[in-house]
Amino acid sequence: MLVTGSSKNLTVSVKRLTTTPYPLRPLENAIIELTIVSSPKKNKEKVTLEVYDSEDWLYYTKNISLDSSSKDHFKFLEHFTVMGALGNHKVLVTTSWGEKVKVSFPVDTYTSINTDSRNFDRFFDQLVFAVKKDEQLFKVGDKWIRCNPSWIRDHVHEMKGYKYWETDIKSFIEHMLDLQMVNGAYYDFISHIDDPHKNFVGKEWQREDKENNVIYIRIPVEADLEYLLVEGAYTVWQTTGDNDWIKRYLPKLEKGLEYIMTDPLRWDSTYQLVKRPFTIDTWDFTNYLFEDDLKTNIKIRELSPENPFCIMHGDNSGMLEACVFLSAICKNIGYTDKARYWEEKAKHFKEQTNKVCWNGKFYTHQIHLDPKEAELYDESERLSLSNAYDLNRGLPNYEQAVSIIKEYQRRWERDKKTGNSWAEWYSIDPPYERFSFYKAGQYINGGILPAVGGELAKASFRNGFEGYGLDILNRFMEKIEKDSFVGFLYTKDGKDMGGGPPGWGAASFISAVIEGLGGIEDKAILFRKVHCSPRWAVTDYKEVFITAKYGPSNAYFGYKFSHLKGSKEIRIEYSGNSQDNFFHILLPKESKYADVKINGNSIRFNINKVKESLYVDFTTNQKGGTISISYR
């Protein structure tokens, strides 16, 4: 790239060090070439060089003195590091004799991870590829609806991955919100009109659009769609910053949660929590068997007062998180009373779910409301998949989170000793002897679910189990490397069972890498408030360049991490569009003391302990800079 500007005696060019045609990226090194043909005076002159980002933040400046008595032609090469907000940056050169030159150059970036491990970089790329493969398109009227894929549940869970590159993340969410039922419920998915699922549910749970050859269906037993659409809408808002859009859909989101909290088939008035028919965790069928297949498919998915109902912790941790999201949205757009209302609802779900579902070690799979069912099924040791989601939705306190993670570790140690399984990320453990169509170990009745592994890894990084989190990533990396593909669900001996979209688990691992190991977390919208917790000290990697950018906007945050073990120094160059940054940097195990500088200046910091791990904590209001941490 070469951009040039000039005046009578002055020529200014911006060059990159490589020959690639793309715009400069933040944290990339570039060169300003300055040529002065002659200065009008025969004594010392000065030239000031300034570089601004697209929001006029001055991030680089240099004063150059000229001794024009000795010569009248000067050429300078000034190296600088690109930083700040994306868009058109400018170089401004002013001279003491009154000449000015301004040169603009584009800056852009993309989500990526580059380390000194080819295997890890390839692992990340394979995860991204798996999510991208799940994309589907539907033409409805004059609009294209982009799904990833076409079930709300899968689409929202995969947002944890594709929000970092996909430009259209609105169309499916707003399409399903626009089709909200009168009572506040949502349809589950869009499909072609001949989809066999329409034979599994009553007419009241489906909507045909013959003109566009599509059908919308709700699987009645499911109790997660209303909170999932809040999560999906929140992600749209967070990645686009579109306040008008979220204001338009806020009433629908609220109506959805109110439906769940008031409908007698969704809400248990005794426990004051969301209930569902007896299913395996968040799945879509109950434990009924009939001779006729068609009747069976209808019976195991229906919602009626005759169902044996349960309280499932994952539904209620999802409601907790949805209430937190609505409170944050309302607070941001100035709806103070509504923000307070949803904050109180979140508090209720946290307290009541812990009171009802916590068994002292983890969250009990199902709290049976039917006494006969409670006698039939001992749920005391049954660890279900939503425990991993609970960890990242804010349901447990720190001590509870540690207990859940240790329970997963205990089961992994058990299985390693017996050679019984390659991973502990079970959909349910122990499985039921038989649940509906499935024997123990089949499908969701005991299969290994990568979505659990990703959520568990992210929670492990956040709660002082960094080594365990890394072990989970490494095991899945080795699995994908061996198989050359990402599966949705696996048997204990590692065979692919299929049964769902591989991108669901892949997205959870993308989130574990970016937000867990990489530690880049957006605590507001558009990366305006960033918590950055690099945990690379738990690895052997010496150099890491990680960038997280939202696909629909120019919001991003990235950093270069260097760990110079010989000199016992960690160096981080960071850049983003945020001026509200909190750093929480993992120190190597052997360290007991640290000193922190930003741009060469010593700063105040705290050393905090998370379990046995030491972190350096501090804040900065600069969009970019260089952090150096000396430890011993």
14-64, pLDDT tens digit by residue?
Answer: 999 887 778 999 999 999 999 988 766 656 788 999 999 999 999 999 999
Phi, psi of 2 (to 5 degrees): -145, 120
Residue 463 structure tokens: 């709660």
Instruction: Give residue 614's pLDDT.
Output: 97
Q: What is the pLDDT of residues 518-560, one digit of tens each?
A: 999 999 999 999 999 999 999 999 999 999 999 999 999 999 9
The CA radius of gyration of the chain, in Å to the nearest whole number, is: 28
Give the strand pairing for 624-631 and 569-576. Answer: antiparallel
SS (H, E, C) 387-434: HHHHHHHCCCCHHHHHHHHHHHHHHHHHHHHHCCCCCCCECEECCCCE
Residues 596, 598, 601, 606, CA torsion sign: negative
Model confidence pLDDT, tens digit, residues 221-264: 999 999 999 999 999 999 999 999 999 999 999 999 999 999 99
Q: Among residues of the chain, what percentage have pLDDT more than 70?
A: 97
**Is the pLDDT assigned to residue 410 strictly greater than 70?**
yes
Residue 556 main-chain phi, psi, to 5 deg: -160, 170
Helices 118-133 + 152-162 axis angle, to 10: 150
The first and second tokens of residue 506, run together, are 């892949």
Assess whether pLDDT exceeds 70 at residue 72.
no
pLDDT band at 593 (very low <50, low <70, confident <90, very high): confident
Residue 22's pLDDT is: 83
Task: Report whether pLDDT(65) > 90.
Answer: no
Residue recorded with tokens 């140690």: 413
Among candidate residues 79, 56, 479, the one with its CA nearest the CA of residue 487: 479
64-73, 231-240, 428-437: least confident range: 64-73
Report the C-alpha gap between 618 and 594 in whole angstroms.
Answer: 13
Model confidence at 590, pLDDT cuts 50, 70, 90, reads confident
Q: What are phi and psi of 524, to 5 degrees?
A: -145, -120
- pLDDT surpassing 90 at residue 1: no
Which letter, b or e, does each residue of 364-403 get, where b requires 16 or more Cβ atoms within 10 Å of its Cβ? bbbbbbeeebeeebebeebbbbbbbbbbbbebbeeebbeb
pLDDT of residue 162 exceeding 70: yes
| Virtual torsion, Cα 594, 597, 601, 603, nearest 10 deg | -70
Would the pLDDT of 406 be above 80? yes
Q: Is the pLDDT reported for residue 291 higher than 80?
A: no
Strand order in 100-107's β-sheet? 58-67, 44-52, 87-95, 100-107
Residue 564: per-residue pLDDT: 80
| β-pair type (383-384, 367-368) | unpaired
| Residue 569 pLDDT > 80 | yes
**Given a cut of 90, is residue 565 above it in pLDDT?**
no
C-alpha distances in angstroms, 344 versus 95, 245, 323? 60, 25, 9
Beta bridge partners of 367: 311
Consecutive H or E run containing 67: strand 58-67
Phi, psi of 498 (to 5 degrees): 65, -145
Give one word for 428, left, alpha or beta, with left for phi > 0 and alpha for psi -120 to 50.
Answer: beta
Strands 594-598, 10-16: pairing is unpaired
Cα separation of 204 and 220, whole Å? 10
pTM for the model stands at: 0.96
In this model, does residue 294 exceed pLDDT 60?
A: no
Q: Where are the beta strands (DSSP E) in 122-232?
A: 136-140, 143-147, 189-192, 206-209, 214-217
Which pLDDT belongs to residue 73? 74
Residues 211 and 209: their CA atoms lie apart, in Å, by 6
Contact 455, 461 (CB under 8 A): no
Q: Give the Å distances, CA to CA, from 470 to 86, 518, 520.
A: 32, 11, 16
Report the pLDDT value the prediction gives residue 298, as an integer from 0 to 100.
Answer: 75
Residues in contact with 517: Cβ distance below 8 Å, sequence separation at least 6, in sequence order: 457, 461, 469, 470, 473, 535, 536, 538, 539
Q: What is the pLDDT of residue 41?
A: 63
Cβ atoms 266, 275 nearer than 8 A:
yes
* Summary mean pLDDT of the chain: 95
Distances (CA, A) of 619 to 43, 297, 533, 549, 585: 45, 55, 12, 21, 11
